[in-house]
A and B are shown apart, each in its own frame.
Chain A
Amino acid sequence: MRRPKARGGPASRGRGVRRPKARGGPVLAWAVIAVTLLWALVPGLFTGHDPLAGVPAEKLQPPDWHHPFGTDAVGRDLFARVVHGSVHSLSGALVAVAVGLLAGTLLGLLAGSAGGVLDEAVMRVVDVLLSVPGLLLALTVIVLLGPGTVNAAVAVGVGSVAAFARLSRAEVVRVRRTEYVEAAFGSGGGFAAVLWRHVLPNSLGPVIALAALQFGVAILALSTLSFLGYGAEPPTPEWGLLISEGRNYLATSWWLTTLPGAVVVAVVLAAGRISRSVGRENGREGA
């Protein structure tokens, strides 16, 4: 999906007052991502509870000191489940972004550097991908591959190929016209060598900003797919699945859906914030 301009672009230059604080936001956002990463890498540091084994006597307890997020219907500590679940959401999002980034950037590089008929053909393929709503595209891929954590991640990744391809093509076309690329060609550089040494590195900045943004989008999409039942299988503590399981206790146990959802919102917000600051550092809009 194309994002509108980040604030702080040329548009706001006229009024110095409202330049958003450059510090503060990203620090908090990086902290959120760092904590989530630590959850995924060393969950034992954050919780002593077992995410899978429940204590039936302690079922459906509201949040307190002992269980910060409360417990679920079989007495499992919800915070432990969220912490242990982060590895599924993060690795899934990573796979999704990797699929979109690799396939998309390759297509964009191909289209932008080759030009002509090939460019036209690749961009028409991208048009087709863009014309199908992301969730329907993901569902089609899931029908094809079957449900599951990895398949859901690939499905989400396929949905972001078009965005990466468009952006990287635009960047490649821009960089190709610069003088240093002409100079590199002029001093005898081969096509592939110049592409690899000069064009690719210089067009990656905005693409990386988009990758950060897509990371958040992927977490969101993955949780949606597992909520619909096409991602991880119970009793995996995947975030979307946690919310889905909590639905049966809506009337009595608000924490079961509210708290895991709040974690998802925090991580996705942080990814978006980082994407914008990366985009600004590149001197261009965050994708």
Chain B
Amino acid sequence: MVLLRVEVAAVTRYLLSRVGQAALVLWAAFTAGYLLLQLLPGDAILIKFQNPELGLSPGQIAEIRSYYAPGSPFLDYLRTLTGFLHGSFGYSIDTGTPVVERLGEALPETARLASAAFLLALVIAVVIAFAGSHSRTSWIRGALLSVPSLLVAVPAFWLGILLIQVFSFRLRLMPVIGGSELQQLVLPVLTLAVPVSAPIAQVLASSIDEVSTQPFVPVVAAKGASRWWILWRHVARNAVLPTMTVAGLTFGELVAGSVVTETVFGRNGIGRLTEQAVNAQDTPVLLAVVVLAAGAFVLVNLVVDLLFPVLDPRLRAAS
């Protein structure tokens, strides 16, 4: 009983420290982003209101500025920070609408695209790694296992363009404009999945390799298990943990890939929003996107870390 209480306390302490660390990283990311974007020489207010046709005097522009950011810089920082904590990210200078609204409009599209792409990436990675590390013919094996390094080297925007060229213009399988929701999703998902699948495939293949050299594998084989049984039941299970780590790390790739993919395929989403924000120097939107992306990245990787002991009893015993 006492032992159990000690254990629970230890786990709670571990959880708290990890969550605290994540919160600290996020706060630092917010502050750094806020400070950097404050340094801008020309800002969105000037871009939008400087046009002589509007006939605004510098005094009036200053008034507009104080409307967007009244008070001292430090107060503004505190206000922005508490706003973020309450889930309100201020107003887009470009459109004048709340940033939350713009994010809310863009997020579902990107979420659909990114989640479908991530699933496809997992499938591609598993197929490459399993087939590669299990084929007996050495040249097939070599060819399959070098696929990921090829996939890493392909620019995502170029891949998207190639896919449009081949499937939309040559084979006429996918309509460029129009078509059902699903049809419109196929090529973008493929474009985004390829760069994400490569690191996952690499790590999965090398962990399968590593686990295969461990002594318990010949023991299981000697007991008469088939190659696929060993791979599935024993090797793959042990190779899951490093693969999960790298899958969590590809989240950044997923976000970056969305920006490119949405631009190439003309889809609305977070990526498009980011691009517009960069062009208009719309700092509130950009800050919100950066902090949200960082937050999601930290959260995903925190969850992956916390899942480790759940999935692997050995780690549970150790901690």
Contact = CB atoms under 8 A, between A and B. Distances in A.
Interface of A: 1-5, 7, 9, 11-15, 17-18, 20, 124-125, 127-128, 131-137, 139-140, 142-144, 216, 220, 223-224, 227-228, 230, 240, 243-244, 246-247, 250-251, 254, 257-258, 261, 264-265, 268-269, 272-273
A231 to B, nearest CB: 13
Contacts of A134: 252, 256
Contact of A228 (B158, B252, B275): B275
B28 A264 contact: no
Contacts, number: 158
Interface string B224-258: 00000000000000000010001001011101100
Given A2-B249, A17-B138, A224-B156, A12 B209 contact: yes
B213 A136 contact: no
A23 B155 CA distance: 27
Contacts of B212: 14
Contacts of B37: 140, 143-144
Contact of A1 (B138, B199, B283, B293): B199
A133 B286 CA distance: 13
Nearest to B253: A133
Contacts of A20: 142
A17 B137 CA distance: 10
Interface in B28-71: 28-29, 32-33, 36-37, 39-40
B158 A261 contact: yes
B24 interface: yes
Contact of B25 (A17, A131, A261): A131
B161 interface: yes
B293 A133 contact: yes
B29 A272 contact: no
A137 B209 CA distance: 35
Nearest to A239: B155
A223 B274 contact: no
A143 B297 contact: no
Given A2-B246, A131-B26, 6 more contacts: A128-B29, A140-B36, A144-B37, A243-B157, A261-B162, A269-B153
B209 to A, nearest CB: 5
A223 B155 contact: yes
Contacts of A140: 33, 36-37, 286, 290
A264 B150 CA distance: 12
A131 B152 contact: no
A250 B161 contact: yes
B149 interface: yes
B278 A142 contact: yes
A250 B164 contact: yes
Nearest to A144: B36
Contacts of B274: 136, 139
A62 B275 CA distance: 33
A139 B25 contact: no
Interface residues of B, number: 61
Contacts of B297: 131-133
B281 interface: yes
A131 B298 contact: yes
A224 B25 CA distance: 28
Nearest to B242: A4
B153 A220 contact: yes
Contacts of B169: 250-251
Given A11-B213, A14-B213, A4 B281 contact: no
21 contacts: A12-B213, A18-B138, A124-B24, A124-B25, A127-B21, A132-B33, A133-B253, A139-B259, A140-B33, A140-B37, A220-B153, A224-B156, A230-B278, A240-B155, A243-B157, A250-B164, A251-B169, A257-B161, A264-B155, A268-B152, A273-B149
Contacts of B294: 128, 131-133
Contacts of A1: 199, 249
Given A5-B206, A224-B155, A268-B153, A135 B161 contact: no
B184 interface: no
A134 B249 CA distance: 12
Contact of A272 (B149, B164, B251, B256): B149
Contacts of B24: 124
B216 to A, nearest CB: 14
Given A128-B28, A143-B40, A228 B153 contact: no
B286 A11 contact: no
A240 B33 CA distance: 27
B76 to A, nearest CB: 18
Given A5-B206, A143-B286, A135 B256 contact: yes
A190 B13 CA distance: 41
A7 B146 CA distance: 10
A121 to B, nearest CB: 10
Contacts of B36: 140, 144
Given A4-B246, A131-B298, A132-B29, A243 B263 contact: no
B289 interface: yes
A263 to B, nearest CB: 10
B210 interface: yes
Contacts of B252: 132-134
Contact of B155 (A7, A18, A265): A265
A23 to B, nearest CB: 14
Contacts of B259: 135-136, 139, 228
**Among B29, B256, B259, B289: residue with most chain A CB under 10 A:** B256
